[in-house]
Amino acid sequence: MRLIWKAPALWVGVLFVALLVEMPALRPIFAAGYPGIEPEIFDRASFIELFLSHLGLVAAASGAATIAGVALAIFVTRPAGRDFRTIANLLAVVGQTFPPAAVLALAVPALGFGPRPTIVALFLYGLLPILENAIAGIDGVPEAVREAGRGMGLSPLQLLRDVELPLAAPVILTGVRVSVTIGIGTATIGSTVGALTFGTPIFDGLAGNKLPYVLQGAVLVALFAIVTDLLFAALARRWRPATA
Amino acid sequence: MIEIDRVAKAYDGRVVVSDLSLDIAQGAFCVLLGPSGCGKSTTLRMINRLVPFDSGAIRVDGTDVREVAPETLRRRIGYAIQSTGLFPHWRVEDNIATVPRLLRWPEDKVRRRVAELLALLRLDPETYRGKYPHQLSGGEQQRVGVARALAADPDVLLMDEPFAAVDPITRDALQSELLHIHQMTGKTIVFVTHDIEEALRLATMIAVFERGRLAQVGTPLDIVERPASDFVRDFVGVQGIGLKLLSVRRVGERMRPGEAGTGEPVAAGATLADALAAMIAQRAERLPVAEDGAIVGVIALADLVR
């Protein structure tokens, strides 16, 4: 029993999967709570479909943001890229302060409706935490360690691959975790431009004044974000002992 | 072994090292000594090209350091620094194996070398090879740092204040071990410190730096007895000079050969300071002197101040 409380990712995950698959089983509850709304459970798409599409959008955007953010951080921490550091940071800050809804509005004319503008908006929104953490992580490698590596004859590439990136990894992971968790919540607005996410029942429910759909979408997206965050936390704990 | 030939270095117009020439013979233990900012550390780092120099030449074993790729050069030269710079995410074994692995030694040779070096630095191989740096004390980390510098058996060892961050007792032990390693291997060691006591204890040759120039080059005895300038005299320390002589002179020079005495003997190769410490510890004014296991004479308290 104690084991279950010690592994919250497990029981929140079980709850999430159960709701994902068995939401229709809650029909009587919604019927009692919100009489007169038919059907009681959102059924324009299955929740599993919504989940897979939502997951795909976040994975694509966060994957791209991780690659771009880490690559940019590596570049601006090299001697050749040092001058671009302020600019890179500024661009990422602009990316994050620009509201994703506005990005969607601007991206739709160029990219059309559907998942693509959503991925662009999520990518821009998620870049800053990854870039900032990757820079902080690489900067956090002690100068003595770098100096010793150079002094023993590690090439710049070996120093980056074998020393700087492994030592920065826990900090980079924290950035990815923040970015992904925010991205899961933000992805819901993609449903306003035709992407299929847990935002679809939320916006359908708001538009049609069907509160149960809003609840169903909102609870699932919240659980999705929490499970993901807990999984990242577990991953971070596994990494720490070797590097602390 | 190392020839530094009219080397100069400036950072943004600020001269750090100017017109510096220094020959370090094979097997020498050369200490670069001076206050902070005098250019001693920069000079050390120019030898393995961590710092580029503006003019002049540096040759190691006859080869101009600028004619080889910096990585190749550095893999042939041992390098140890203050606060060790051990890779925190690598075990002791992997840290020591850094350069052998860069040189693509076969793995069984690497393992044997690691065990050998840990034993040389008085760390039990089986206990220590699997530990991470943060599990070690400061002194143990420093030992691993020295072992790592020795790993690929380089002819030249560069050490930048390697013992500055450890407590005095550990530093003393590390100095003895380094001396022992130097005597055993005959490696050429270039060692940076601002600690005159450390320099006198370790060096066969001391180069005193003053604002990017050499103020004096000589044996420890030269530096203490015949300082070339007021700067050197001040740096060596006017007040402690008598005591410093005790740590430069050897018992063998002052003993009375052939006489016999009682008590725990001191070694002929020990310093007069060691002899004085032994006398105080044993409450004796005369102690026998031993060399290669045989008593060869005695040393008396009066001999120390002759």
pLDDT tens digit sequence for B6-37: 999 998 888 899 899 999 999 999 999 988 88
- Considering the domain boundaries, does residue A33 fall inside one? no
- Considering the domain boundaries, does residue A38 fall inside one? no
Convert A135-159 to b/e letters by CB count within 10 Å (16 or more is b). bebbeebeebbbbbbbbbbbeeebb
What number of C-beta contacts closer than 8 Å exist between A and B? Answer: 65
pLDDT at site A244: 45
* Chain B residues inside the 8 Å CB shell of A243: 88-89
pLDDT at site A1: 53
Angle, helix A115-139 to helix A100-111, in steps of 10 degrees = 130
Strand order in the sheet with B205-210: B77-81, B156-160, B188-193, B29-33, B205-210, B213-218
Mean predicted confidence (pLDDT) in B229-251: 78
Least confident of A46-55, A151-160, B166-175, B204-213: B166-175
Least Cα separation, residue A135 to chain B (angstroms) = 19
Nearest Cβ partner of A153 from B83, B86, B102? B102
Predicted confidence (pLDDT) per residue in B66-104, tens digit: 999 999 999 999 999 887 789 999 999 999 999 999 999
Question: The tokens of A122 are what?
Answer: 């999520």
Mean predicted confidence (pLDDT) in A149-173: 93
Asked if residue A108 has pLDDT above 90, the reply is no
Amino acid identity, position B175: Q
Domain count, chain A: 1
pLDDT at site B268: 84
Asked if the Cβ–Cβ distance from B98 to A163 is below 8 Å, we say: no
Asked if the Cβ–Cβ distance from A152 to B98 is below 8 Å, we say: yes
Predicted confidence (pLDDT) per residue in A10-67, tens digit: 888 889 999 988 888 888 888 888 888 778 888 888 899 999 999 999 999 999 999 9
Length of chain A: 244
> Which residue in chain A has the smallest CA separation from B149?
A152
* Of B119, B138, B139, B137, residue with least CA distance to B129: B119
> Which residue in chain A has the smallest CA separation from B91?
A242
Pairing of strands B63-64, B156-160: unpaired
Asked if residue A134 has pLDDT above 90, the reply is yes
Asked if the Cβ–Cβ distance from A242 to B48 is below 8 Å, we say: no
**CB B272, CB B244: distance < 8 Å:** no
- Considering the domain boundaries, does residue A137 fall inside one? yes
pLDDT at site A16: 92
Least Cα separation, residue A77 to chain B (angstroms) = 18
Q: Going by C-beta distance under 8 Å and a sequence separation of 6 or more, which residues neighbour residue A130? A: A65, A66, A69, A70, A172, A175, A176, A179
The ipTM, to two decimals, is: 0.77
* Chain A residues inside the 8 Å CB shell of B83: 142, 144
A153: left (phi over 0), alpha (psi -120 to 50) or beta: left
pLDDT at site A202: 94
Domains and CATH numbers, chain B: 2-239 (3.40.50.300), 249-304 (3.90.1280.20)
Q: Going by C-beta distance under 8 Å and a sequence separation of 6 or more, which residues neighbour residue B181? A: B120, B146, B150, B187
> Which residue in chain B has the smallest CA separation from A145?
B85
Give the whole-angstrom CA distance, residue A57 versus residue A193.
13
* Chain A residues inside the 8 Å CB shell of B86: 145, 148
Give the whole-angstrom CA distance, residue A9 versus residue B262.
76
Cα within 13 Å of Cα(B205), Cβ side: 14
Asked if the Cβ–Cβ distance from B134 to A244 is below 8 Å, we say: yes
Mean predicted confidence (pLDDT) in B142-154: 91
B104 touches chain A (CB under 8 A): no
Asked if the Cβ–Cβ distance from B134 to A163 is below 8 Å, we say: no
Mean per-residue pLDDT of chain B: 89
Share of chain A above pLDDT 70, in %: 95
* Chain B residues inside the 8 Å CB shell of A158: 102
Asked if the Cβ–Cβ distance from B84 to A144 is below 8 Å, we say: yes
Cis bond upstream, residue A156 (ω within 30)? no
Cα within 13 Å of Cα(B258), Cβ side: 0
**CB A202, CB A188: distance < 8 Å:** yes
Question: The tokens of A118 are what?
Answer: 């959503």
What pTM value is reported for the model? 0.80
The better pLDDT of the pair A71, B282 is held by A71
What CATH number did the domain enclosing A216 receive?
1.10.3720.10
Asked if the Cβ–Cβ distance from A153 to B88 is below 8 Å, we say: no
> Which residue in chain A has the smallest CA separation from B82?
A144
Predicted confidence (pLDDT) per residue in B154-182, tens digit: 999 999 999 888 888 888 888 988 998 99
Share of chain B above pLDDT 90, in %: 44
Segment holding B208, helix H or strand E: strand B205-210
**CB B80, CB B141: distance < 8 Å:** no
Containing structural domain, residue A132:
45-243
DSSP state, A244?
Answer: -
Asked if residue A243 has pLDDT above 70, the reply is no
- Considering the domain boundaries, does residue A175 fall inside one? yes
Mean predicted confidence (pLDDT) in B214-237: 87
Predicted confidence (pLDDT) per residue in A208-237, tens digit: 888 999 999 999 999 999 999 999 998 888
pLDDT at site A187: 93
pLDDT at site A5: 64
> Which residue in chain B has the smallest CA separation from A167?
B89
